[in-house]
Amino acid sequence: MADQTRRLNIIFDLDGTLIDSAPDIHAAANKVFTANGLQPFPFPVVKGFIGNGVGVLVARLLQSQGLDPAGPLHSDLVAQFISLYEDAFDLTHLYSGVLQALDALAAQGHRLGLCTNKPVGPARAALRHFGLDKHMAVLIGGDSLPQRKPDPAPLLAALSAMGPGAALFVGDSEVDAETARRAGVALALFTEGYRKAPVDSLGAKLIFSDFAALPGLVSHFAPRIVTSI
């Protein structure tokens, strides 16, 4: 178990970091839009809009079809999407090595939590479905606060709920990088998620492409993270 000087509060993003949910998000978006007489989307279009929460996703999809992103249709589509997506896991999978990495980090004595722009209901359902809920002491979702990432408030709220200690945020995207930067928290960047920007532009302290490597990286760099934050 990690000693007190090396134990971290490690907060994870969800979509694109722990789970690859883009196929289910794409399927749900197309079902909702076609059910309302609108055109479906190619997969890359929907994947490119993931990261800022359901409301922003739907707004961007509406705008891409020349529709008002803040019009009366927006709230109806958001509600329909959330209802459909909350238990949609047929096309979603864990990234390789996630469960083993979380087990190892917990065994090292680190405290784990989740900060995602996915609403709390679908986020909690995903954690439960994939057996990740046993590790997450804190869950802050996209509807937990008025603010969403990249505003630092959700990440800071998650860390506050976990108690004192140095922090590490594990994410995959530009949104996560900006959130970490604005919160003053070190970033561990998972390179196989939904990122579009170059890796070296995001200011990550740790960079990894395989979750099997994460516990070792954390063990090696935890003293530096602790002393630099």
Contact 168, 221 (CB under 8 A): no
Residue 12: burial class (beta carbons within 10 Å; 0-12, 13-18, 19+): buried
User: Looking at residue 87, what is its pLDDT?
Assistant: 83
DSSP string, 76-145: HHHHHHHHHHTT--TT-EEPTTHHHHHHHHHHTT-EEEEE-SS-HHHHHHHHHHTT-TTTEEEEE-TTSS
Closest to 176 in 3D by CA, of 60, 52, 56: 52
Q: What are phi and psi of 115, to 5 degrees?
A: -135, 110
Token pair 């070792």 is found at: 216
Closest to 168 in 3D by CA, of 1, 7, 8: 8
User: Looking at residue 3, what is its pLDDT?
Assistant: 52
Q: Which fold has domain 22-85?
A: DNA polymerase; domain 1 (1.10.150)
Cis peptide before 164 (omega within 30 of 0): no
CATH code given to domain 8-20+92-228: 3.40.50.1000
Residue 8's beta-bridge partner residues?
Answer: 166
User: Looking at residue 180, what is its pLDDT?
Assistant: 98
Q: What are phi and psi of 146, to 5 degrees?
A: -65, -30
Tokens of 39: 């055109």
Residue 103 among the catalytic residues: no
Closest to 94 in 3D by CA, of 197, 193, 179, 27: 193
Q: Which of 3, 13, 90, 133 is catalytic?
A: 13
Where are the domains positioned within the chain? 8-20+92-228, 22-85
Instruction: Give the CB-side neighbour count of residue 75, counting CA atoms within 13 A.
Output: 2
pLDDT tens per residue across all 229 residues of the chain: 445 557 899 999 999 999 999 999 999 999 999 999 999 999 999 999 998 999 999 999 999 999 999 999 999 999 999 999 888 899 999 999 999 999 999 999 999 999 999 999 999 999 999 999 999 999 999 999 999 999 999 999 999 999 999 999 999 999 999 999 999 999 999 999 999 999 999 999 999 999 999 999 999 887 776 544 4
Say what angle helices 174-183 and 153-162 make with each other, to 10 degrees. Answer: 60
